[in-house]
Structure 1
Amino acid sequence: MQTLSPRHVKTDEALRLGVEQGWYAIKVSGTFVSGPHDSEGDCRRKIDEIHPPVVKKKR
């Protein structure tokens, strides 16, 4: 499973990349997976939708 992380893309970088400013869920390789999101919290919620956290079972 790919680990996703939130990343904020500011205006100058957004213009260079041809994307909108905002928060993006990205792979370790730097590939954008989801976004832009209005806040880091929104981005993290989307990451949790894509890859729900692992729930450990009690024995």
Structure 2
Amino acid sequence: MMQTLSPRHVKTDEALRLGVESGWYAIKVSGTFVSGPHDSEGDCRRKIDEIQPPVKKKR
């Protein structure tokens, strides 16, 4: 089963420390970056939906 991804904003100071660009990233619960950087939280969430489509509930 795939882990749930969530959006996370990485600010400039943290980005410099991590060696990445600042921006929005899709991350696993473990903190591993999966996708990014994205310009906005909305862009990041759209990418998360592409990678991991929402589960449709059965009736």
In structure 1, the residue matched to 2:12 is 11
Q: Aligned pairs, how many? A: 58
Structure 1 runs of 4+ off > 3 angstroms? 55-59
Percent sequence identity over aligned pairs: 97
TM-score (structure 2 length as normaliser): 0.91
Query: Which structure is larger by alpha-carbon Rg, 1 or 2?
Result: 1
Alpha-carbon separation, structure 2, partners of 1:42 and 1:32: 15
Question: Could you list the runs of 5+ residues in structure 1 that have no partner in the other structure?
Answer: none
Change (3 A) 1:10 1:50: same
Question: Could you list the runs of 5+ residues in structure 2 that have no partner in the other structure?
Answer: none
TM-score (structure 1 length as normaliser): 0.91
